[in-house]
Amino acid sequence: MPAASRARRTVFVDGVRTPFGRARPDGLYAHTRADDLVVKTVRELLRRHPQLPPARVDEVAIAATTQQGDQGLTLGRTVGMLAGLPSSVPGYAIDRMCAGAMTAVTNVAAAIGVGAADVALAGGVEHMGRHPMGFDAEPNPRFLAERIVAADALNMGVTAENLHDRFPALTRERADAYGAASQRKYAAALASGRIDPDLVPVATRDPEQGWGLATADEPPRPGTTAEAIASLPTPFRPGGRVTAGTSAPLTDGAASCLLAAEDTAAELGLPVGMRMVQFAYAGVEPEIMGVGPVPATRRALERAGLTIEDIGLFEINEAFAVQVLAFLDAFGIADDDPRVNPYGGAIAVGHPLASSGVRLMTQLARQFAEHPEVRYGVTTMCVGLGQGGTVIWENPHHADYVPTNDEEVAR
């Protein structure tokens, strides 16, 4: 059988991210370039894995939702060059809004699967302080004139309110409790040393205060309680249910990961954090974009021949608490199920749009190492304009995990 026709397995070797900063004029990265943030993550992956010759990297795929300014100019190519990769290593930019880095990962995994690549870097960056979501965009007037989408479908906070409307069981009280739990779980994970291994320090510079070093996430609010956020205003609708306490804050940050064909990882001595099983994307009504992970997960499970009962860990992006709750209700999972976001989520740590997919994956890989009894896990997220994305992963520490090699694939 020709090598090009063999389906190869993709493994997640390692992932890192910058500390996340608040997107505001006095935020952590107010005076730091977006491309420099993602360059730092790529350099850190290369530093952590010196057994990988840089010339063996076949592709660099970097996502950004707003591709302009320091987030423009074909990020995958420019980031690779700035990170010191040989000029022979190609790269490209990608955009699927919040699922940008997730799509970068699944794109390069598909290339690995057909033998078009052996090793790839994938990631994402968003400097929302400099490039707010949708900034300078010009949506086609037909969207509204021809009622292709509702007028409020382009406002993510309003779509979260729409979810509350659509599903009465998704009450504000449940959302408040979930938002507080995210902060609590993140604080516990930080205290136990589970967050710092993912982080790469970033040098920062402020015109007035001089040089600094970003070593910790800026958005979390430890000590948050459901009672404390119950009185917060609802900025997206008078008398609504979505608040700052149940939404991911606007965030600056970057994340990248190293992926390889399983046989190439073995050849080079690269560790295996987890193995990709299947992935899927799905579209939903833009007005309720938060339910996107539900059909995407159903599709991925069906393609993989698995059921929701086979999944032992869930990393669900917390764009809004109501979006996670909608997913949990759809699959009959309790709000406080310990399998869900054990390190907390974006409500606490932030959501730098295109980078968040790799944060989810990096955390899931670490959780797999802690839980060898779990065989399968999921990373999933909603996407603006009505989409969802899901990737199913297998735990290499599980007793039933069997590495594949080139000869087995050929058969």
Q: Compute the radius of gyration of the chain from its Cα atoms.
A: 20
Residue tagged active-site, from 98, 127, 131, 164: 98
Quote the strand ranges of 2-139, DSSP E: 10-17, 21-22, 59-63, 91-94, 119-127
Q: How far apart are CA 45 and CA 290, in angstroms?
A: 32
Q: How far apart are CA 96 and CA 104, in angstroms?
A: 9
Residue 380 · residue 317 · CB < 8 Å: yes
Burial 358-373 (b: 16+ CB within 10 A, else e): bbbbbbbbbbbeebee
What residue type is 159 in one-letter code? T
Q: Is 257 a catalytic residue?
A: no
CA distance readout (Å), 8 to 77, 155, 307, 362: 25, 40, 23, 22
Residue tagged active-site, from 127, 164, 257, 382: 382
Q: Is 382 a catalytic residue?
A: yes
Residue tagged active-site, from 127, 131, 351, 397: 351
Residue 106 · residue 230 · CB < 8 Å: no
Q: How far apart are CA 381 and CA 290, in angstroms?
A: 8
Q: How far apart are CA 13 and CA 360, in angstroms?
A: 14
> CA torsion, points 274, 52, 201, 198, in degrees to nearest 10?
10
Q: Is 98 a catalytic residue?
A: yes
Active site residues: 98, 351, 382
